[in-house]
């Protein structure tokens, strides 16, 4: 197998990182654990996975293939950040779900829970649509940044208060395609 990260083919992007927090193999191992846990917890349920665009897509693609159930999949897109690194607290629905939540066991899949404002809004909004149950799975969580109380049921990794990119997470729409999670070099962050 050709390992892109080790042959120099992905070095363009790696050169922009001050630090790597989680390498690809560590991420894959953790995502498989989460998938196995979700498979157990939803064995006799009617699972609908709701991926939050765009950040969650890389995590979601791996997670889905670790869940051994006849699940359904839908997507929502919300805006909370624009191109900046601070949350505005204002959440807007850019794309809504295609299916009803009635009778479904809904699992929201997020890239990262930072202030928690986006998730708080999503949980309130989706609970009002009468799902059978509603839980949250996030790849990353920054507990130190939380400004609102919101329950997260599955967490890939907890991280300190650092702005990270990769594995779906962006800075100004870049770096989503990194297979690892890194911290950008300070000189590449504007302002």
Closest approach, Cβ 135 to ligand IMP, in A, equals 17
Would you count residue 87 as binding ligand IMP (CB under 6 A)? yes
Give the integer Cα–Cα distance in Å for 22 and 165: 11
Closest by CA to 87, choosing from 123, 112, 58, 51, is 112
| Cβ atoms 169, 12 nearer than 8 A | no
Closest approach, Cβ 82 to ligand IMP, in A, equals 10
Closest approach, Cβ 74 to Mg ion, in A, equals 20
Which residue has tokens 């949350």?
Answer: 87
User: Judged by CB under 6 A, which of 24, 62, 105, 111 binds ligand IMP?
Assistant: 111
Catalytic one of 68, 114, 149, 153: 114
| Ranges assigned E (strand) in the chain | 17-22, 47-53, 72-79, 92-95, 105-113, 133-141, 154-158, 164-165, 181-184
107 binds, among ligand IMP, Mg ion, none (CB under 5 to 8 A by kind): none
Q: Is the N-terminal amide bond of 54 cis, ω within 30° of 0?
A: yes
User: Judged by CB under 5 A, which of 81, 85, 88, 143 binds Mg ion?
Assistant: 81
User: Judged by CB under 6 A, which of 24, 62, 105, 114 binds ligand IMP?
Assistant: 114
Judged by CB under 6 A, which stretch of 9-17, 23-31, 60-68, 115-123 contacts ligand IMP?
115-123
| Cβ atoms 88, 80 nearer than 8 A | yes
User: Judged by CB under 6 A, which of 115, 137, 152, 181 binds ligand IMP?
Assistant: 115
Closest by CA to 179, choosing from 22, 7, 63, 31, is 22
Would you count residue 157 as binding Mg ion (CB under 5 A)? no
Q: Is 149 a catalytic residue?
A: no
Q: Which two tokens stand for residue 58?
A: 């890389």
**46 or 80, CB closer to ligand IMP?**
80
Task: DSSP letter for 80, please.
Answer: S
User: What is the binding site for ligand IMP (CB under 6 A)?
Assistant: 55, 80-81, 87, 110-119, 163-165, 169-170
Active site residues: 114
User: What is the binding site for Mg ion (CB under 5 A)?
Assistant: 81, 170
């Amino acid at each position: 197998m050709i390992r892109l990260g080790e042959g120099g083919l992905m070095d363009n992007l790696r050169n922009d990182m001050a630090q790597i927090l989680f390498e690809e193999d560590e991420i894959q191992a953790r995502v498989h654990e989460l998938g196995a846990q979700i498979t157990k917890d939803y064995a006799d349920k009617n699972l609908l996975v709701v991926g939050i665009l765009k950040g969650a897509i890389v995590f979601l693609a791996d997670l889905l293939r670790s869940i051994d159930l006849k699940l359904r999949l839908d997507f929502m897109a919300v805006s909370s950040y624009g191109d900046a690194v601070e949350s505005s607290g204002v959440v807007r629905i850019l794309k809504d779900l295609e299916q009803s939540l009635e009778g479904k066991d809904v699992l929201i899949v997020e890239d990262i829970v930072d202030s928690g404002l986006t998730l708080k809004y999503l949980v309130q909004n989706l609970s009002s649509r009468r799902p059978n149950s509603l839980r949250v799975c996030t790849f990353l969580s920054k507990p130190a940044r939380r400004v609102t109380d919101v329950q997260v049921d599955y967490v890939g990794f907890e991280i300190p208060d650092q702005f990270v990119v990769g594995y779906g997470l962006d800075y100004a729409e870049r770096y989503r395609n990194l297979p690892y999670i890194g911290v950008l070099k300070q000189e590449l962050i504007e302002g």
